[in-house]
Each structure stands twice: as C-alpha cells, then as structure tokens.
Amino acid sequence: MFGQSLAQELEYRGISRRDFLGFCSSMAAVLGLPAAATEAIAAAVENEARPILVWLEFQDCAGNTESFLRATHPTVADLILDSISLNYHETIMAAAGHQAEGALKDTVRDNQGKYIALVEGSIPTGADGAYCTIGGRSALEIAREVCGGAAATIAVGTCAAFGGIPAAAPNPTGALSVADAVPGVKNLINMSACPANAENITALIVYYMTLKRWPPLDRYRRPLFAYGKSIHDNCERRAHFDAGQYVEAWGDEAHRHGHCLYKMGCKGPATSQNCPVVKWNEGTNWPIGCGHPCLGCAEPNFWDTMTPFYKRLPNVAGFDVGSWVDPVGLSLTGLAAAAAAAHGIGEISRARLGKRPSVEEKAGSE
Amino acid sequence: MAHIVVDPVTRIEGHLRVEAEVEGGQVTQAWSSSTMFRGIELILKGRDPRDAWAFAQRICGVCTTVHAIASVRAVERAIGAIPPPNARLLRNLIMSAQVVQDHVVHFYHLHALDWVDIVNALKADPAKTSSLAQSISDWPLSSTTYFTGVRDRIKAFVERGQLGPFANAYWGHPAYRLPPEANLMAVAHYLEALDWQRRFIRIHAILGGKNPHLQSFLVGGMATPVDPDSQDALNMETIAALDKLVSDGVKFVSQVYLPDVLAVASFYKDWASIGAGIGNYMCYGEYPLDDGEKPELMLLPGIIRARELSKVESVDQSHVSEWITHSWYEYSVGDEKGLSPFEGETSPHFTGPKPPFERLDVGQKYSWLKSPRYDGAPMEVGPLARMLVAYASGRPARVKELVDLTLTKLGVGPQALFSTLGRIAARSIEALVLVESMDRWVRGLADNMSRRDYAIQDNSKWDPSTWPSECYGAGFHEAPRGSLGHWVHIKNGAIVNYQCVVPSTWNAGPRDAKGQPGPYEAALVGTPVANPEQPLEILRTLHSFDPCMACGVHVVDVTKRDLARLRVS
C-alpha cells in the first residue's frame, strides 16, 4: 500500500520544515493529543508512505467532496491531498468513461485488502439498483466489490454513514447506509455530518498514518476525537444557557448578543460533534456562531428525529435554571447541568424522538 | 459508425451518462441520461415549510446555496413574509459568492483538463512561461522562478509514477493544442485556484456559518445577526473581512481567470463554431437591487430564440411544460403529453435494462431527468443565456462592455457566442460582473448599520398560526447553472406538495414526445471525435454546460387546481 516516502514530497513542494511542523501541531490539537505528539506525527507522516484511496459517490450531492476541497492549512493540505494516492474520484479525476472505470478496476485488483475506500452518498436498494448506476452497474454492486476488498471503509457524510436524506421518510428509493447495504466490511468508520468537516476527514487519515491503527469509535462507529462530546458541552454560548439567557426572536437583542439558541430549536444538546472547537472554513465560523441553531446533522436519522428543526428539544437538563437560581449557586448548577448533558441528554432525546439505526449490530469490525 | 458510451462522465456533480453515434469523425446523434434518483420532493411532503430550505439545499452540495434560496422565496411568497433589506443584501452576497466561486472551480478543476495537457507542461521553458503570463496579466505570481518551481513539482509528481486522479487520462491526445508554456501557466493557476476558492468561500462561512451547506437561511429573512456594537453579530470587523475577501476576488477573477480564458480560447477558436445546440436561451433574472413586490433586478429576465439577438422576449412561467416520453416516469394522461408543472404528476417507473447493463434503449425511456419545454421548445439556461439576455438588452452596461472586449480580443463576431467556447467565455464574464457587484452589497450592509437598521427577519410571519390555512407560492433564482424554480403548496402549516424545475433538467433532459433533443444532446451533434476510444471532445462540449445532475433529477407532484391559486413572484 505504500509508495514514495513523504520526506521527498516536502522537498519537491518547497514546503519548509517549520510550515510542516505547524501543520502537525494543529493536527495534534484536532486529535486531542498532547503537544509532544507533534514530533511523533511529523516522524510518522515523513517516514511512512502514501495510502491508496478510492472515493465512491452514490446517492450524493457532492457536498462532502466540496467540503474535502476546503481542507485548511492550504499548502500542507495540498501535500496531504497529493500524499495520498487518490486513484478514483469522479468529481476530480481527469479520465472519464472506460478510462475512469479502468482506474478503479486496476486499483481494486492490484491492491486487494490494502486500499482505503471512502464512500459518499447512500446506496439505493429499490428498483433492482436502478436508482443509482455508474457505468451501467448498480451502486450496491460497486460498493460490495470495492468496500469488500478495502483495508478500511470510511463513510463520509451522514448519507453514507446513516442513510441521510435519501433514507428520510418515506425513503422512496430504499436507500441504506454503507453499514446496512454492505454488512461486514472491514474497519468501517462513520464520519457523519452534512457534510463531514474537512478537518475531521484529514485528521482521520493523519491519525491512521501516525498511530498505525484506526481510532476508537462511539456506538455509531464515529471516531471519538471528533464525536466524543456534544455540541452543547463545547458551545461558546453555554454560559448563556446556564444563565437562562435565551434568544426569543430572530434579530432581538439576545440574538444580536450571542445568547443561547435553545428555544429557537437548537439540537446541540442532542448532537455529538466538534464543530464548536474546530469550526469550519479555516476556523472562520460555525452555524451557531452565525446565529442559527444546530440541526443535529451528525446524528443518525436527523432528518426525521431532529425535525421540525425550529422546535425546542424536550427535557434538556438545566433548561431555564438560571432564571431563578441565585448568583452564588449559578456556577455549581451549571456544572451539574454540564455533567447531565454530557452523560444523558443525547440518549433521552434520541429515545424520545424516534428510532435509531441498526448500524452497530450490522457493521463489521476488527 | 461507432456507438460510444461515456459513463461515468467525470468532473461534474452527480451521475451522467452519454451515449453517442460517431460517423466520419464527428457525433451524429447523442443521448443524455441521468442515472441517479433520490426523490427529495417526496421526502418534503408533510414537513414544516420552514424546514424545507434545509432539505432542498441537500439536492446539491456544489451549488449549495441555490435550492435554499429558491425554497425560502417560495415559502415566503406563500405565507406573505417580506424579508427586510438586510436579508436581501445578505442573500445577494451569498448568491453572488456562490456563482463566482463555482465558476472559478468549474473552469480550473472541472473543465481545464479538457484543454490543458498537464504532461505537456513539463516541456515548458519557465522563462517563456513567465513572459507569456506577464504579457496577458499583472498577476504578481509570474516570475521565471515561480514557474520553475511549479514545473519541478509537476515533474516530480509525474516521475513518481503514481498519477492518482490524473491517471488513465488523455494526455498527448491530438486535440490538445496549447503550447507547453500555456499548459504550464494553466497548471500553475489550477493549483492557485484550489487555494483561492477555499479562501474566497470564507464569505459563506462569515454569512452562513459554514460551506458547503450554509446554515443561516430563514423563511422571512436570515439568521445572521447585524449589530456593529456586538462581537456576536456582523460588525465592522466582519465588514472589513468581507471587503478584503471581495477585493481579493476581484483581483483573482480579473487578473487570472479572465486572462486565462482568453489565452486558452485563442488556441481553440474553432470551438467558437462547435457545440451551439438548441439556440434558444432563457433567464428568469436575479439580484434584486431594492425591496418590495417587484424589485429592480441587476440581471434581467428574458428569452432569446433561434440565436436572434435583436429581440428579447419576456418570460411567463405558465408557458413551461414537462415531458416524460423518454424519462423513467409515468403520467396518468399518457406519456406522450406534456404537463404544466402545476399539473405535474409523480410516478417513478424504471423501465430500463436491469443493472448491470451495457447499453440503454434510447428509443424508449432512458433518463431520470424529465424534459422541460417553454412553449413546447427546448431552452438552454445558464451563464451564456444570462449574458446573452444582458448583452441583447444592453443592461447591465458592464456585460456589454466585457462581451465586446472578449469578442474583439479573440477577433470573432457575436455569433461565436453560440458555442462551446461561448459558454466558457460567458461564465468568466459573469464571474467578473458579479464579483465587482459584491462591494456595493457590503457597503449596503454598512449603510444600514449606520442608520441603526439591524432587522434581519420578518418575525410577524414566523408563527404558522399567522399563515392562511392553505396557500401556494413559487420562488425563482438564477443559479450558477441557470434558471431555477421551486413551487410549494402548504396546508395547515405543512407541505402538501413541493416541486423543483432545475437548470440541469432544462439543459440535460432527454428527447420529448416530438423527438426534439435537449440542449446537451443537440450541442453534441457535430462535435469532432478524433478517437472514439478517447471521448475528449465530447467532454469539452458537455463540460461547457457545467453539468450538475443531482440538481437535475426531481419529482413533480402538484395537483391541477394549484395552477389557479399559485402566486408567482
């Protein structure tokens, strides 16, 4: 699976050692590793070689592809894009038709059990597979063959991870997640969200190259480094929630001053992702930072369980506490609420809001 | 005669298949097929209309704003919400940033490799490349040293033997005609554009929280707070950031994108008489410059028929019908009739070959796209249609000025616009006109702040209890790839029916009952094909439309009586 060493890449690309270490340092931060890990990441990325990737698009909108193109640290992101050998990606690749199919076929044949498959979009099972064909073959047939021969499969975005919008009720095409459509694939990792954040996709690849294993996952097979905490727990507006300061109408004083969006329907308490920490588009902003509630897009079946989007989540611990608590007790109450939120809220709301997917039972694993 | 199948058509959004007959070195007939279906309009039924924009937005992650915009406009028309001036300005900025970024990405990352031979760039003399670059633009990254570095990077990449996404392509094909220096310059700008698009789209993160799939739309306005005295709202710091991103955008488009289009086009002038296709063009109009029911639009609506630039017809939505004679759907009135979108029906019914298959039966049904028609005639939509309507109307004057400049520089007449090359040129001209317009909308926001106008939302219509028990609305938008319409029927606060008629459906749809081909199909006829095994020239004409197939596949499901009640904006 490994080709050329990356040390030479640095030289070819005129990237200074300092820039490179800067990149490794921010990767360590994304992965939640101590500062000392920077050197280890640098050593790993330099000495190891280039994993072969194939990126499949099925019932998708290409949003995850576009997200991937927004990966930050521009110069070094170029390095990473080129340092993996991306042998198939319909949106980017120069070849088309038979030549494109040939690239995929050769890669799968010559690298059995060694390449990494990334899947974007859900996989339809209705109409004998005719709801999505590529080169005359059904998405399901392609997924079985390509994911079946991969060292690992990364389901990028909520459609591939959990079925996403095509699988939302009434699921007109029988759309399934990778886990449900192709049970038993090796090392399946779900990078959910709509779309998945480029920082997290890149971090996952660096994690693998650095530590030579795949990261620990939560019960939905999502890496803990990106999905280990709720939006609510890391939210910059959390203090306003604890203090009972809520936006009541769009554009009101509270809204203009960054108060809590819970009453406007925010799904942050029921959603696990690192948006508040990593943010989007070179760390520029994130939805709550832009005054709009979280939609819960990293969660299974969010199109059905988190809607109506502007309806308040039921039973969130700590809601409205601040309106009556005395100033001295505030911080303690806040801590208690934070603990409750961290341990139970996601569960409660999911149980109340609807069904959960069969991802865990059906996914293969090592 | 050779029958060519190109599937997958790559460097597009979505799943497109083209079959073509080639005889005497050129395409004699072509069939365009979309091979993916999701049914998002069916999924929207029964849901809260205020949520619809988020669902519709997921139709496409490339043109990630366009369905959200059309959706909120449709629902606003239905319930009578009126977004305040700040929301109009925020939306104009979001829409124009989308078009500008999308056009640049299309030219460099989806289209350029049809014209630019990366491998041939290795033969370039960096000093001559530098002279070439400096002769066409003031862009500062143009030294011999710079191009030497780019060449050496590409050389190292090629020599490594792992070409990744550039493997198995058409390098060395006789249809590539750029000298090595122009190839090297274009490759350098391919890499620069990859960086630039990521920076420029920060405008969307500032105004929409993230890109792709911005999250600041609201029925009735925008969720982006405006307040110069808050650190949690658009303030002077973000206005300054927007200013900087916009001025950097003007520089990149005027000093890199436009000169590159002219440079590449000058070597491929024969493509100014290839790929015209249908010759009818339609634009709904876009970019409201003031508020209210009938705002003045920066880009005018209009129809041009049969390449006749002396006459611009007005557009009337009631002339639109959709045909499914060759689409995998059924109509209760029979598949040989066209239905107005308001009378449309939904019944996906796949009758093609069971996968895996080699060939589609193109005499029967062969696509998940329908065939929209205006007065029964196919229409091309998109940047070329918009620029033609603007050019023929003389407004905005900047379009006429840039079109004339382009024609003069290439030494061709206006008829050259009706071509594969014309689409590419129109896209670059539109990008410049729009990026130059963004500054006034940024200033508009600052002006409103100076008047202490911080309103972003019509809160009077937020609560569904304020809505009529039953209402209808339509919202229109000029998306990067052309004219887009959403129709919604709401009853007791929930969506009864939802419909989209989308740019790529207009352009990529199959034949209709009369056997009239769609714009892609017509444009491919006459396209030269040097080697049927390597469909490079077919990709050139297809890519000139910027295909976006996930957008194109939609489901119509509106009942007959909707027609009379529809409120069209």
The per-residue pLDDT of chain A, averaged, comes to: 82
What's the whole-number mean pLDDT along residues B164-188? 95
Alpha-carbon span A358 to A319, nearest angstrom: 31
Mark whether B551 is an active-site residue. yes
* B67 included as an active-site residue: yes
E strand segments, chain A: 52-57, 85-89, 116-120, 123-124, 133-134, 137-138, 152-156, 175-176, 188-191
Q: What is residue B499's predicted lDDT score, i.e. its pLDDT? A: 85
Four-point Cα dihedral B263, B267, B270, B273, nearest 10: 0
Residues whose CB is less than 8 angstroms from the CB of residue B377 and which lie 6 or more positions away in sequence, other chains included: B280, B305, B516
Chain B contact for A72 (CB, 8 A cutoff) = yes
Enclosing H/E stretch for B134 = helix B126-136
Burial (CB count within 10 angstroms: exposed 0-12, middle 13-18, buried 19+), residue B455: middle
Angstrom distance (rounded) from CA B79 to CA A356: 34
Known catalytic membership, residue B500: no
Identify which of B429, B421, B430, B428 has the alpha carbon closest to the alpha carbon of residue B523.
Answer: B421
Give the helix/strand (H/E) hosting B190: helix B180-200
Q: Which residue has the higher pLDDT, A88 or B156?
A: A88
Q: What does the alpha-carbon distance between residue A134 and residue B36 come to, in Å, rounded to a whole number? A: 9
> What's the full length of chain B, in residues?
569
B423 touching A (Cβ < 8 Å)? no
**Count of CB pairs separated by less than 8 Å, A with B:** 319
Supply the pLDDT for residue B182. 98
> In this structure, are strands A85-89 and A52-57 parallel, antiparallel, or unpaired?
parallel
pLDDT digits (tens, 9 = 90+) for A249-303: 999 999 999 999 999 999 999 999 999 999 999 999 999 999 999 999 999 999 9
Here the tokens at position A294 are 């979280």
CB contact under 8 A, B356 and A137: yes
CB B192 within 8 A of CB B149: no
**Nearest chain B Cα distance for residue A238, angstroms:** 14
Confidence category of residue A1, pLDDT binned at 50, 70, 90: very low
Per CB-CB distance under 8 Å, the chain B contacts of A131 are 36-38, 350
CB atoms within 10 A of CB B173: 15
pLDDT at B224 over 90: yes
Q: What is the pLDDT of residue A320?
A: 60
Specify the pLDDT at position B468: 98
Chain A positions touching B352 (Cβ under 8 A) are: 130
Contacts of A103 in chain B (CB under 8 A): 167-168
Chain A, 39 to 68: residues with Cβ < 8 Å from chain B are 50, 57-67
Task: For residue A118, name the pLDDT band (cuts at 50, 70, 90).
Answer: very high
Structure ipTM over 0.90, yes or no = yes
pLDDT in tens, B519-528: 999 999 999 9
Report d(CA B515, CA B71) in Å as an integer. 32
| Cα distance between residue B94 and residue B207, in whole Å | 7
- Which residue type is seen at A251? G
First to last CA, chain A: 19
Q: Which of A92, A127, A173 sits opposite B165 (nearest CB)?
A: A92
How far lies A272's CA from each of A222, A298, B26, B384, in Å? 10, 7, 55, 44
Which of A134, A281, A286, A312 should we substitute to test contact with B (largest number of B Cβ atoms within 10 Å)?
A281
Confidence of residue A42 (pLDDT cuts 50, 70, 90): low
Helix axes B420-450, B397-410, angle to 10 degrees: 150
B27: pLDDT strictly greater than 70: yes
Residue B327: exposure state from Cβ atoms within 10 A (0-12, 13-18, ≥19): buried
Catalytic: B13?
A: yes
pLDDT tens by residue, A194-239: 999 999 988 898 888 889 999 999 999 999 999 999 999 999 999 9
Distance CA B200, CA B217 (A): 20
**Average pLDDT of the residues in B29-48:** 94
Which residues make Cβ contacts (< 8 Å) with residue B389, sequence separation at least 6? B281, B283, B299, B300, B301, B302, B303, B304, B312
Among the listed residues B305, B273, B518, the one whose alpha carbon sits nearest the alpha carbon of residue B418: B273
B60 is catalytic: yes
Touching B: A residues 301-320, CB under 8 Å: 303, 307-310
pLDDT: which is higher, B293 or B433: B433
The whole-angstrom separation of Cα B482 and Cα A192 is: 31
Radius of gyration (C-alpha) of chain A in whole angstroms: 21
Residue A178 has pLDDT above 80, yes or no: yes
pLDDT recorded at residue A78:
59
Average pLDDT over residues A118-126: 97
Q: Is the dihedral of CA A6, A12, A17, A23 positive or negative?
A: negative
Distance, in Å, from the CA atom of B212 to the CA atom of B381, rounded to the nearest integer, reads 24
CB B61 within 8 A of CB B73: no
Distance in angstroms (rounded) separating the CA atoms of residues B553 and B278:
21
The pLDDT, as a whole number, for residue A157 is 98
Are A116 and A56 within 8 A, CB to CB? no
What's the distance, Cα to Cα, between the start and end of chain B in Å? Answer: 49
* Alpha-carbon distance values, B101 to A162, B76, B137, B284, B427 (Å): 30, 27, 20, 21, 11
- Alpha carbon distance B454, B292 (integer Å): 18
How far is B420 from B407, CA to CA, in rounded Å? 14
Contacts by A213-218, CB closer than 8 A, 24 or more apart: A214/A152, A214/A187, A214/A189, A215/A189, A217/A189, A217/A190, A218/A272
**pLDDT tier at A17 (50, 70, 90 boundaries)?**
low
Rounded-to-integer distance, Cα A253 and Cα A255, Å: 5
- pLDDT bin (cut points 50, 70, 90) of residue B292 is confident
Distance CA B261, CA B422 (A): 11
Q: For the stretch B285-308, what's the b/e string if a residue is b when 16 or more beta carbons lie within 10 angstroms of its beta carbon? A: bbbbeeeeeeeebbbbbbbbbeee
For B397, counting Cβ atoms within 10 Å of its Cβ (0-12 exposed, 13-18 middle, 19+ buried), the class is: exposed
Tell which B residues from 525 to 544 touch A, by Cβ distance under 8 Å.
Answer: 533-535, 539
Give CA–CA dist A119/A55, Å, rounded: 6
Q: Which of B204, B322, B548, B554 is catalytic?
A: B548
Residues 6+ apart with CB under 8 A from B251: B139
B452 C-beta neighbours (distance < 10 Å), count: 9
Nearest to B59 among A61, A137, A257 (CB): A61
Positive or negative: CA dihedral B208, B211, B214, B215: negative
CA distance B448 to B227: 10
